[in-house]
């Protein structure tokens, strides 16, 4: 029978069997967990961003709620400077008034001695300069306003120093012990005034504030006296 078998049948029987169908593959656990792992990697990044934002907000809130530590120290230092400056202003006023009084006294004594005409004119000039300084140191507002308009150089540190040096040179020409001593005192006061005006820029402002307070006190006393006189006049009119 083998020789009678048709050729096509023999060829069909000799052919290789078809390859087996591969069994259905199960989903790989590593592939299934890959997205989860990726999301797990992304999650910490998102958590870190949110955590940093929360940390920054917490630190800002703590800073805003924290009590200012440097403010009391700055306030104390400023108060100390104001107190020191107020004492210095009082000392400067007394020193300038004393120097002006000494200048006026020396000049008047020189005029009484009937000197030469030139010395007599210089003595009058020095006396007027001393009176000008005295009026300036009274701290009365209406007087200071007039002086500021007509003698503004007294409010400048350099020009005021030159004015004091000029008065000192006038006193030096008196050729006496008192005149020489007055000249030295005026020179020292001029240097000290310049130092204070340059060392404390707020000296002028605080001095104006003190002058304004004195004007208010004077005005209050005047108003009180006016009220008392008005009340007394009303009582006298009734009688």
Reply yes or no on whether the pLDDT at 37 is more than 90: no
pLDDT band at 203 (very low <50, low <70, confident <90, very high): low
For the segment 212-226, the average pLDDT, to the nearest whole number, is 72
Question: Residue 17 phi/psi, 5° resolution?
Answer: -65, 155
Cβ(225)–Cβ(189) below 8 Å? no
pLDDT band at 204 (very low <50, low <70, confident <90, very high): low
Coil, helix or strand at residue 67: coil
What is the reported pLDDT for 93? 86
Q: How far is CA 72 from CA 32, 63, 77, 78, in A?
A: 65, 17, 8, 10
| Residue predicted with more confidence, 129 or 88 | 129
List of residues 6+ apart from 88 with CB closer than 8 A? 196, 200, 203
Q: Does the pTM exceed 0.75? A: no
For the segment 44-71, the average pLDDT, to the nearest whole number, is 57
For the segment 191-214, the average pLDDT, to the nearest whole number, is 73
What is the reported pLDDT for 215? 63
Domain ranges of the chain: 89-217
E strand or H helix at 138: none
Over the stretch 72-114, which tens digit does the pLDDT of each residue have? 444 454 555 677 777 887 888 899 999 999 999 999 999 888 7
- Tokens coding 114: 């009937």
How many whole angstroms separate alpha carbon 176 and alpha carbon 106? 10
Pick from 93-97, 154-158, 163-167: least confident: 154-158
For the segment 12-30, the average pLDDT, to the nearest whole number, is 51
* CB-neighbour burial class of residue 41 (10 A; exposed 0-12, middle 13-18, buried 19+): exposed
How many whole angstroms separate alpha carbon 169 and alpha carbon 205? 31
| Residue predicted with more confidence, 165 or 1 | 165
Reply yes or no on whether the pLDDT at 198 is more than 60: yes
What is the reported pLDDT for 5? 47
List of residues 6+ apart from 22 with CB closer than 8 A? none
| Residue predicted with more confidence, 106 or 6 | 106
């Amino acid at each position: 029978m083998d020789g009678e078998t048709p050729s096509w049948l023999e060829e069909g029987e000799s052919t290789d069997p078809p390859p087996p169908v591969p069994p259905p593959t199960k989903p790989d656990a590593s592939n299934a967990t890959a997205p989860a792992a990726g999301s797990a990697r992304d999650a910490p990044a998102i958590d870190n961003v949110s955590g940093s934002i929360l940390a920054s907000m917490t630190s800002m809130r703590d800073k805003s709620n924290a009590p200012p530590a440097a403010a009391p120290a700055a306030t104390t230092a400023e108060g100390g400077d104001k107190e020191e400056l107020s004492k210095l202003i009082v000392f400067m006023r007394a020193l300038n008034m004393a120097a002006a009084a000494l200048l006026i006294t020396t000049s008047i004594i020189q005029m009484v001695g009937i000197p030469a005409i030139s010395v007599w004119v210089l003595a009058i000039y020095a006396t007027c300069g001393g009176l000008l300084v005295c009026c300036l140191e009274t701290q009365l507002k209406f007087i200071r306003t007039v002086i500021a308009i007509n003698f503004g150089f007294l409010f400048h540190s350099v020009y005021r120093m030159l004015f004091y040096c000029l008065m000192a040179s006038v006193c030096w020409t008196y050729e006496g012990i008192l005149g020489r001593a007055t000249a030295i005192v005026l020179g020292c006061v001029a240097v000290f005034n310049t130092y204070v005006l340059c060392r404390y820029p707020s000296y002028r402002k605080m001095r104006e504030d003190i002058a304004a307070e004195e004007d208010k006190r004077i005005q209050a006393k005047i108003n009180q006296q006016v009220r008392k006189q008005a009340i007394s006049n009303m009582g006298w009119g009734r009688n």
